[in-house]
């Protein structure tokens, strides 16, 4: 059986920009799908900390908002665990991160 390929669809150009999360934006506080995720994230962070791999300029978080704007539509994703090797500004009470402002 041969697979027939259709003509490729033309994709509209995507406009990607990096905007900070608005101060009044409310992140959802849904429970995680797997109750082991917070425990695993905590253990992973602790292992890295004990081994001396964590620096003050790093960002390590769980259930944390990563922000991007795609075609003027803000998109926020909250991975179970995130590691950013270097952030430009170290904030104590950070609720989101936008990689390229």
pLDDT tens digits, 61-91: 876 777 888 898 888 887 778 888 888 877 7
Distance CA 42, CA 81 (A): 9
Q: Is residue 8 part of a domain?
A: no
Residue (of 79, 90, 94, 39) closest to 47 by Cα position: 39
Q: Which domain holds residue 47?
A: 33-97
For residue 35, pLDDT over 70 is answered with: no
Q: What is the chain's mean pLDDT, rounded?
A: 78
Residue 81 forms part of a structural domain: yes
> How many structural domains is the chain composed of?
1
In a domain, 21, yes or no: no
Beta carbons within 8 Å of 32's beta carbon, 6+ residues apart:
38, 63, 80
Cα distance from N-terminal residue to C-terminal residue, the chain: 50
pLDDT at 1 over 60: no
Report the pLDDT value the prediction gives residue 51, as an integer from 0 to 100.
92
Does 41 fall in a domain?
Answer: yes
- What is the CA 84 to chain-centroid distance, rounded? 9
Residue 6 lies in a domain: no
- 60 within a domain of the structure (yes/no): yes
């Amino acid at each position: 059986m041969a697979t027939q390929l259709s003509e490729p669809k033309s994709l509209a150009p995507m406009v990607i920009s990096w905007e900070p999360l608005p101060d009044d934006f409310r992140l959802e506080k849904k429970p995680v799908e797997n109750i082991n995720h917070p425990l695993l994230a905590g253990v992973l962070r602790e292992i890295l900390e004990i081994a001396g791999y964590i620096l003050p300029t790093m960002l390590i978080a769980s259930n944390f908002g990563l922000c991007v704007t795609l075609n003027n539509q803000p998109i926020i994703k909250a991975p179970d665990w995130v590691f950013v090797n270097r952030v430009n500004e170290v904030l104590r009470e950070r609720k989101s991160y936008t990689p390229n402002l």
